[in-house]
Amino acid sequence: MNLGGNTVLITGGATGIGLALAARFLQAGSTVIAMGRRADVLQQAQQQLPGLHTRVCDVASAEERTALRDWATREFPGLNVLVNNAGVQRRLQVADEEAWSERQAEIAINFEAPVHLAGLFVPHLRQQAGAAIINVTSGLAFTPPTFAPIYGATKAALHSFTIALRHQLRDTSIEVLEIVPPAVNTDLGGTGLHTFGVPVNEFADSVMARLAAGELEVGFGTSEERRLASRAELDAATAAMNSRFS
């Protein structure tokens, strides 16, 4: 895909990976709209990246997703790239007692939202040149994490959906791309939980360069190994990772 000349909507675009992608699209000459739930965080992102447009929206809500589509296509009729990046990661034991709404929200943010937003935006994107939907999954889509079982399942589901969507849209102007991050040093799951991850800028430089070169599914480091691994290699990587958490 071309990184410049687009109008790009990034869910969760004010922090972490989303912010790093926003910076690179802006740098390449695209218009970028970042959205998320926290107005103050969106404002900070705008200060960091002059020219960034922002919108408060909770992608866990179907009504807000529809309102986002209506607003974005009205205000930015040339919008041609949707990046489904917003996500949360909750560490839990399945037998823990907690309200079902907590688990439902993780599924809604990580999986329902990208599926719903794809359906909402495809009719608009079909009319645009150089259109793309970019889904941000995870290396954990390939190696189920016992410490975050719902998270891993949502990412595996999103990986599967991305491949199916790419096939369905193969004869349209819309490219369907997937970014598969490894552990990246962001605040995902809470401050300090991912400090062991790779630096976000190094990761973003690599994946964006590869998308620009025409690749459809890109990982980095361990997630690149995992997305290409055999079943035996995946089983070994899953066992090694999960042994650190049991």
Q: Name residues contacting ligand NAP, limited to 109-168 (CB under 6 A).
A: 109, 136, 138
Assess 18 for contact with ligand NAP (CB under 6 A). yes
> Is 151 annotated as catalytic?
yes
Rounded Cα gap, residues 58 and 35, in angstroms: 9
For residue 172, give both structure tokens. 């349209």
Q: Report the C-alpha gap between 36 and 173 in whole angstroms.
A: 27
Among 30, 85, 143, 238, binds ligand NAP (CB under 6 A): 85
Binding residue for ligand NAP, selected from 7, 22, 23, 36, defined by CB under 6 A: 36
Of positions 162, 186, 222, 238, contacts ligand NAP by CB under 6 A:
186
Candidate residues 9, 17, 22, 174; the one interacting with ligand NAP per rule CB under 6 A: 17
The correct pick among 4, 5, 27, 38 for binding ligand NAP (CB under 6 A) is 38
Of 147, 151, 203, 220, which residue is the catalytic one? 151
128 vs 226, beta carbon nearer ligand NAP: 226
Query: Which positions touch ligand NAP (CB under 6 A)?
Result: 11-12, 14-18, 36-38, 41, 57-60, 85-89, 109, 136, 138, 181, 183-184, 186-188, 194, 197
Catalytic annotation, residues: 151
